[in-house]
Structure formats: structure tokens, C-alpha cells
Structure 1
Amino acid sequence: MDRHRLTCDGLVKSHGGGFRLGPLSLDVTEGVTCLVGPNGAGKSTFFRLAAGLEKPTSGTLRLDRSEGAGSGRPAALGYLPQDPELPAGATCEEFLHYVAWVHRIPARRRASAVSGALALTHLSDRATSRIRTLSGGMARRLGVAQALIHDPAVLLLDEPTVGLDPRQRIALRETISAVAVDRIVIVSTHLVEDVRGLADRVVILHGGDVVFDGDVPALEGTADPDAPGDTDLERAIAALMGAPE
């Protein structure tokens, strides 16, 4: 049984210049949901709304605990923005201790929370390394670690694999899959290989509206043979996202 559910009910966010996200009505449960769409489709707007950084124009977005859920995890949320600012001079564990303090994790539990987050993201051997010495992939995994430090029910990862080389992307996808076993993880991405390697569910946005919501086989089934791409998944995504602007 799902422990938590992130529910959008008629969610709308209007911006100046005529752009509007929604209305969105979605129920998101445990596992990895990939949020896909061209630039300007509304992905980052959705993340800011979900993270509480912006308020919706109308509608609601709420995190509910499912009836009968057995986990003691609080209905908390972790967020990794697309361009996180990490303190270059701090060590990994110093930074995570600070984030744990920000999240009001009791002092007696901070060391175990830090070591647990480092272990989940395969950074235990870099605990005392300065952040400036980390590779791009390690720094992105540290970003995931800070989003996980308080053991949230929902993890929002905005374009986490952008700028990483293929090996780094694979390692990060493995980390994301591991932490999604018992929590809601929403990942925004432009990369077809991320969708194939991560997604239990795919939601495609175009012009602020949901144009597809389903799993990867269902998405492949919508492929237009005349759309650009080398695989059914690429052709399906390209067709749903429309012609490049």
C-alpha cells in the first residue's frame, strides 16, 4: 500500500506574458515519475509549486498520508533545484550537518542522518572531501543527499543529470532508483535515456498542459513513425512535445 500520495487538484499557475501551467489533476504515488517537456513547458514551475516556493493561482497541491500506512516517515519534501548552490569550501559532511540542522533534525540524530544520506548516495568515502574537489557527478549526488537528509516522503529532482557524462548519469540514475523504492520521486528531464532508465510513470507537459500520462510501454505505443528519432520512445516523445520552437 502506498504510504503517501501527492495530489494536484485543478492546479493552475499563471505568469505574466500569457503562460499558464494547468489545470493539472494528478495523483502521484511511490516510485519514479519522470516529468518531461520542452523548455517553457512548465516543469520548473511545477517544481517550485510543489516545493512551496510559489503559490498556485488556483487549485491545490497537497501531500497526503495514505490510510493504513505503516511507515513513521513524516510527510516531508526534499528538493534539488536544477542549479543548486553548494558551499565549495565545506566538506560533504559539514554541509550535510548544516542541512540537517536547518531541517531541525535533533542533534543526537544528525550524525546518523548524515552518514545515512552519504551511504545512500555512495559518497561515504568522500565525507571529509571539500565540495570543490568533487566531480560533477559526485556534486549532483551530494545534492540528492541534502534533499534526502530528513528522510522525506517526496523527493523533487529538477534536471539532475544535465551536464553529466554517460557514466555519471548511470551512477546517478542508480542512486535515484535505489531511494525511490519507498518514496515518491519526481524527476524532470530532457533525456530519453533517463526516461527509459528511471521512469515507472511518465508525465509529458507541453504548453503548460499534460499531453501524456502513463508508463513507458504505453508511451512507446503512441510513437509516430514520421516523427524524428531512432527508437519508438524517442519518436513518441518528439511527437508529443511538438516541433522545436
Structure 2
Amino acid sequence: MDKINIIMQYMPHILGGAWLTLAVALLSFSFAFALGLLGANMRLSQHQLISKVAAVYSTVVRGVPDLVWMFLVYYGIQYFLNDFTERYNYESVEISPFMAGVFTISFIFGAYFTETFRGAMLAIPVGQMEAGYAYGLSSWQVLKRITFPLLMRFALPGVKNNWLVLTKATALLSIVGLNDVTRLSQLAGSKEQMSFLFNLVSAFLFLLLTTVSLVVFRKLERQYARGVREVRYEV
């Protein structure tokens, strides 16, 4: 009971860190989603230079560990900023762990979303869009009523997987000093010499986020699968 009481004393702070983790995840997901759409369109561009730039971005970013990118952004950019401000006698600028984390995770997962959306775009039947134009729909109406729903239908499994991995990647931000759920749990565990139990609390909160996310994505999958006949194969 004493250990439970100790954990409960820290729960308000840990839950505050969980909300911060969720904020980082949602912001990063939004930016990465938009960056992925842009990258996928660039990858499928008829212009070779644009297509190659997007291909290099996708390949290089996915080929370097997330932790390395975190160090490069947080410490690397901070180093260049310090050098610039000292050289020209400007006021020093400090990069917050929150902004560095959102930028880095968005940059990393934008590459994964690029490939997810590229595959989904290639799976869309061209005849669907041609039929929309034949019925007199505008480009915006075709995008809204045909292209995007079909894109999400094919991309949703990959989007779900990227989101689940992204939420766990936010734990890396504890290394650069962000007071997220991982860092606060570690600090509390070290102070009370109960690291295992406090890490279990952190793991439970991540698992709770994953469970809620799966429920949301299951509803989205049902929504975007409307009108599609389910085919069952019997062996």
C-alpha cells in the first residue's frame, strides 16, 4: 500500500507529462501527415528533379535512426544558432525541447507517410477520377469526393501503423529534457528508488493511448470501407 500511495502522489505530474506527450504526438502527426501528402505528390511528379528530391528525402530520413536525428536537430541547430548569434552580437536563441521534438518527429515520419501515401495513390483506379470529371465535377470536388476517400481507404492501415510508432517515438524527447510522461516517470522512480514500478506506470499510459487509438482507427476503417463488399475466402 505504501508504494501505491507514493505512486499516487506523483500521478498528477505524470498525467501532466502524458498530456504533453499527447500534444507532441498530435502536432507531429498533423505536420507529418501534410508533409507525407506533399512528398507523395512529389515522388509521383513527372519532373525528374522533383521526384528525385522526394526520393532522397524519403530514403535518407528512413535510413538514419530517430535518436540520431533528434541529436542532430536539437544539438546541431542549437550549435549553429549559438555560433550565429555570437558572431553577429545578437541575443541568444534557445530551442525548446517541445519545438525541437515536434519538428524532428514531423520531419522523420513525413518520410514514412510519403511512402504510405505514394502506395495508396498508385492503388487508386484512374477510371474513378476520370468518371468524376465526366460527370462534370470540378477538380476540388473530385479531390474531396473521390480521390481523398479512396486514398484514405488504401492508406489507412499504413497511417495507423505510423501513428502507433510515432506515439512511442515521443519517448525519445525525454533525452533532450522534455518533461513528458517518460521523463517524469524516470525522475520519480529514481527519487523514490522505484524505477520499475514508475516505468510500469509510463508503459500503462502508452498502452492506454494505443488502445484508444486502435478503437478510433477501427471506426475510421469502417467509415472509409463503406460501399466496399467484403469478400470472404473459405478453405
* TM class by smaller structure: under 0.3
In terms of fraction of residues, the more strand-rich structure is: 1
In terms of fraction of residues, the more helix-rich structure is: 2
Q: TM-score, normalised by structure 1?
A: 0.23
User: Which one has the largest radius of gyration?
Assistant: 2
